[in-house]
Amino acid sequence: MGENNLENEAAKPVEAYSGENAAKPGGAGKQEDNAVSKEPNKLAVMPVGKLLLSLAMPAIAAQIVNLLYNMVDRIYIGHIPKVGSLALTGLGITLPVITLIAAFAALIGFGGAPRASIALGKQDKQKAEEILGSCVFTLVILSVILTAVFSVFAKPILYAFGASEDTIVYAYPYMRIYVLGTLFVQITTGLNAFITSQGFASVGMKTVMIGAGLNLILDPVFIFGFSMGVSGAALATILSQAVSAVWVLKFLSGKRTILRIRRCNLRFSPRVMLPVVALGISPFIMQSTESLLSVCFNTSLQRYGGDIAVGAMTILASVMQTSMMPLQGLSQGMQPIVSFNYGAGNLSRVRKAFQLTLTSCLCYSLFLWSIAMLFPQLLARIFSTDEAMIKYTAGVMRIYMGAAGIFGAQIACQQTFVALGKAVQSLFLAVLRKIVLLIPLIYIMPLFFQDKVFAVFLAEPVSDLLAVSTTVTMFMLTAWKLMKPKKE
């Protein structure tokens, strides 16, 4: 059911929506709900290299700017006089909660958007809008549930995630306020995927830039101006997300969008949502296991290295996010091209889009790995002024990011599985790296090394090497053959 028989779909004439150029004022009149524009779609006709660049650059910019939401919080909090390092460690304890909330948005948004793109490639706009409506309704329901759970059980959750008596006084106030903005996070992250999947890459970038820019302004005002500390950072973040959420809803209800939120589609439909969840489970696991991963790292490092090791892990997680966000931006730029052309049966464009994405991802990951190996103290200094913390973090960074240079291949292959609608393969790969490999290695590696902290950090590059090798092999044996153009 998850695969939806996509590979058996015959190629159709490509006349669907035209992305950034669609639905402009002064057009030829209103379209019917299930009608599509006869103007050639740029996803089908623009040169693939130019198209990928036009879609990926705004997506990359959006991902980089998106880092500011949490990165700016960490930078400002890390520089609070006298208590900055301890407050930063406390904020690191809340990262699993923040990641888990975002993961549910990915479950719906990143599962629904490719399905909608494939439907548009098949000229079925009505089905695409049904997917959008059901996803909006589901995101709202999830927001209510998550807000209630994390509000009621905040302290027990934080202690389970590795908080100590010294760090809970910073972690709890941040989490208590942040979870009140869960609805805004779900709407912004989950529905922005539907904007970019239509080809509106610049609009998707603005969604992130609006919120991140506002957060950049409000953070110092609330943290230092109003002396609110970590509570001010959380308040600045949710207010910024609220503005972004309003922007997304306004666009998807307006005249420019091709897929529009309609009241008749705002319902939970198992027929629509089961394939969405089947495809979205892979990005959900990729993000939600970051939450579980943080817990495993934090508790192990707290046991072997104390608060300074947990603080270093917070900085390393921030640096790793920096490496992942642009790669995710590249894959987001690739997704509409692959999904639309796969739905339309144009496999030569699908293959070329993947090749360009793989090359770009590898070049970036190798560049970031070089920076981490050569200048680890410079990266650590961004987040802390504590010389002991900087020196400690720089020492373990070269271990933790030892295999980051090849991780671009993992992102490119895994996200292409998602774009093709291959739920089973993408799910397996999402589970493999973190659940099957990394989490067990965090506890197994210290059994074989006298330096337990070194062993915990070493689990990351070992799992990366094994996961990338498996992913590339599986991709070449399955998806690469699937993308081979059929002879006339």
Handedness of CA 190, 193, 194, 195 (dihedral sign): positive
How many angstroms separate the CA atoms of 212 and 189, rounded? 13
Q: Domain of 236? A: 46-482
- Per-residue pLDDT, 342: 83
- Cα 166 to Cα 87, 90, 94, 178, 387: the distances in Å are 9, 8, 14, 20, 20
**Is residue 1 included in any domain, yes or no?**
no
Cα–Cα distance, 249 to 261 (Å, whole number): 8
The candidate with the shortest Cα–Cα distance to 197, out of 280, 272, 121, is 121
* Tokens (6 digits) for 317: 């997680």
Residues of the chain short of pLDDT 50, as ranges, are 1-38, 488
How many folded domains does the chain comprise?
Answer: 1
Which residues have a Cβ under 8 Å from the Cβ of 477 and sit 6 or more positions away? none
Give me the count of residues in the chain: 488
Distance CA 410, CA 323 (A): 13
333: its two tokens:
């730029």
Q: Specify the 3-state DSSP secondary structure of 345.
A: coil
Distance, in Å, from the CA atom of 361 to the CA atom of 102, rounded to the nearest integer, reads 23
pLDDT value for 69: 61
Domain-embedded: residue 202: yes
Which residue in 135, 11, 1 sits closest to 486, CA to CA? 11
Closest listed residue to residue 74, CA positions, set 315, 370, 356: 315
Tokens 């439907």 found at? 119
In whole angstroms, give the CA distance from residue 153 to residue 343.
Answer: 44
**Per-residue confidence (pLDDT) for residue 67, from 0 to 100:** 63
445 part of a folded domain? yes
| Cα separation, 85 vs 398, whole angstroms | 21
- The pLDDT of residue 239 is 93
Q: How far apart are CA 386 and CA 8, in angstroms?
A: 59
The span from the CA of 215 to the CA of 208, in Å, is: 11
Q: Which amino acid is present at 189?
A: T
pLDDT at 40 (0 to 100): 55
pLDDT of residue 140: 95
Residues 6+ apart with CB under 8 A from 212: 65, 66, 67, 68, 69, 72, 240
Residue 231 lies in a domain: yes
Query: Does any domain span residue 4?
Result: no
CA torsion sign for 95, 185, 174, 82 is: positive
Q: Say whether 47 sits in a helix, a strand or coil.
A: coil
Domain annotation covers residue 310:
yes
The answer to whether residue 203 sits within a structural domain is yes
Report how far residue 431's alpha carbon sits from residue 213's, in angstroms, rounded to the nearest whole number: 34
Q: 132, 124, 130, 116: which is closest to 12 by C-alpha?
A: 124
Residue 305 lies in a domain: yes
